[in-house]
Structure 1
């Protein structure tokens, strides 16, 4: 059995993975985000309360781990930020640890048992509070440290649009750069874009998308420009990877019409012409971060026993 954790800034979600099709979710636990000793105590209690002694631990985290230094960047959990996290967890808990980025875990879950299960190459895209991504090739994550597939953080957002007669600013991003997709295409990003386009109007991302679906002129301009900003980089990713599908999760993925419009915009810009949908909503039920961590942990445990 692998004991899995989806580590968020607000809550820790545990699960026991007895097999790829036997993952039992546990109760959420508040995250001690500022106290590492308290954080470890929560995990120790979960290990002690498991139905079986776990063979290892697998973590999905909203952050990245530098493959060369082992140092973690977890901005929303300060007590984990800057630590050699895998080493510290293994020393404190006495069990083998697998760490993976949450977008990578999402992508692995979708590639193995979700919308990408019939495709050799799957690109997973998160459109939620932030923009993230991951890559799975023939069932294997490409660099589960959280860097591969990370489309959200690079200064690549298009700013000049002749068709809209507009120049966008290089919006500041939380990663320290300017002009990232995360800053303009996430849920907070589309709100920022809408405010810029419409004289400081404040609107929730869900309200913007709903108004767009009803034909509202202001929301339509916002979404049209949002689609233009995001579709070009996604088409480039597709040209590089040759993915069978781009699977979308996160809050914005729950609007089918929006994902349909994004699919049409991306396919129009790809070198390969698709007669079928390429950008599709996620299908994995439950908690994809936990499921992906479970699958990764079970795979690593199998490698250790070979």
Structure 2
């Protein structure tokens, strides 16, 4: 049995997976938005899952925003800013009484899709989160790649490549200017288009020219951003997650624009929608221990 926890900004979800990767039980609660209360909520949630199933897990994986600093062992770079600077692993390990592994939520998403999702069988996978924020995760041979600084895949806080005259840098919540999060996340898209991804998709399908233009521009910005990833990492598969991943027209549009920006005469990288949807975070967390870790 593998137990994973998806520690999100608004909700906390726990799931118990069997040896085949099937979810035996799952439950979610609102994230209280307070550090001590959130740690307690994780423990209560895990306890309810184990009591409900009569099965326990020797280890627990946790998907979270941000990452763990290799210098301090504390959380950093989380958009749930109240989590930053906290000894999250230490406190969870003590509270749960067993080994805990904490990993960035985008890395967990990528791991889930690489193990038994849309990128199963691929050696190098780049997971893309296009939701409220923008993130990335790297998996090679079914192992997450955090890097020596613990920031592997932090794609959302790199600049928009080849900016145009009308793409002046915008200040991001992290304090930097020009981050991808301000251009290709769901919230970024709404900032510059005035539409949610769902609204734009529905209007475009109904023939709204302005919505189609907005989605075409979004695809172009995503393609420019992914071209840099392909030039450096050259992944077999790129998997989209988050709310914008549900816009099916994006896939052909992004892929069609990529070759103009990639430093190659061929493009064999697949660009695909996730298989597990909202479950990828908690599933990836469960895979952090054992096979697939």
TM-score, length basis structure 1 = 0.84
Query: Aligned partners of 1:208 and 1:286: how far apart in 2?
Result: 21
Query: Aligned partners of 2:47 and 2:203: how far apart in 1?
Result: 50
How far did 1:116 drift? 1.2
Query: Aligned partners of 1:92 and 1:116: how far apart in 2?
Result: 35
Range 144-153 or range 48-57, more displaced: 144-153
Partner of 2:154: 150
Partner of 1:199: none
Which residue among 88, 98, 102 is the counterpart of 2:105?
102
Query: Aligned partners of 1:167 and 1:286: how far apart in 2?
Result: 34
1:239-268 CA distance string (max 9 Å, x none): 211211111111111111122201111133
Query: Aligned partners of 2:209 and 2:3: how far apart in 1?
Result: 49
Conserved 8 A contact 1:63-1:146: no
Which residue among 243, 248, 265 is the counterpart of 1:256?
248
**Which blocks of at least 5 consecutive residues in structure 2 are unaligned?**
none
Which residue among 285, 290, 293 is the counterpart of 1:293?
285
After superposition, the Cα gap between the structure-2 partners of 1:169 and 1:23, relative to the gap in structure 1 and judged at 3 Å, is same
Equivalence map 1:186-225=2 (5 Å):
186-194=185-193, 202-225=194-217
After superposition, the Cα gap between the structure-2 partners of 1:22 and 1:168, relative to the gap in structure 1 and judged at 3 Å, is closer
Partner of 1:111: 114
After superposition, the Cα gap between the structure-2 partners of 1:167 and 1:39, relative to the gap in structure 1 and judged at 3 Å, is closer
Which residue among 51, 55, 71 is the counterpart of 2:74?
71
Q: SS in structure 2 opposite 1:167? A: coil
1:69-112 CA distance string (max 9 Å, x none): 2111333262x331121112112322111001111111001111
Conserved 8 A contact 1:20-1:295: no
Q: Structure 1 segments of 4 or more deviating over 4 A?
A: 273-277
Which residue among 239, 247, 258 is the counterpart of 1:266?
258
How far did 1:269 drift? 2.2
Query: Aligned partners of 1:23 and 1:146: how far apart in 2?
Result: 29
After superposition, the Cα gap between the structure-2 partners of 1:120 and 1:222, relative to the gap in structure 1 and judged at 3 Å, is same
Range 9-18 or range 224-233, more displaced: 224-233
Is the aligned partner of 1:2 residue 2:2? Answer: yes
Partner of 1:91: 94
Query: Aligned partners of 2:159 and 2:202: how far apart in 1?
Result: 29
1:165-203 CA distance string (max 9 Å, x none): x42221121211111110011111112222xxxxxxx33
Partner of 1:128: 131
Conserved 8 A contact 1:121-1:135: yes
Query: Aligned partners of 1:170 and 1:77: how far apart in 2?
Result: 23
Query: Aligned partners of 1:228 and 1:64: how far apart in 2?
Result: 29
Which is higher, the Rg of structure 1 or of structure 2? 1
Equivalence map 1:143-182=2 (5 Å):
143=146, 147-160=151-164, 166-182=165-181
Partner of 1:33: 33
Range 120-129 or range 89-98, more displaced: 89-98
After superposition, the Cα gap between the structure-2 partners of 1:54 and 1:272, relative to the gap in structure 1 and judged at 3 Å, is same
TM-score, length basis structure 2 = 0.88
Q: SS in structure 1 opposite 2:178? A: coil
Range 204-213 or range 243-252, more displaced: 204-213
Query: Aligned partners of 1:286 and 1:32: how far apart in 2?
Result: 20
Range 270-279 or range 286-295, more displaced: 270-279
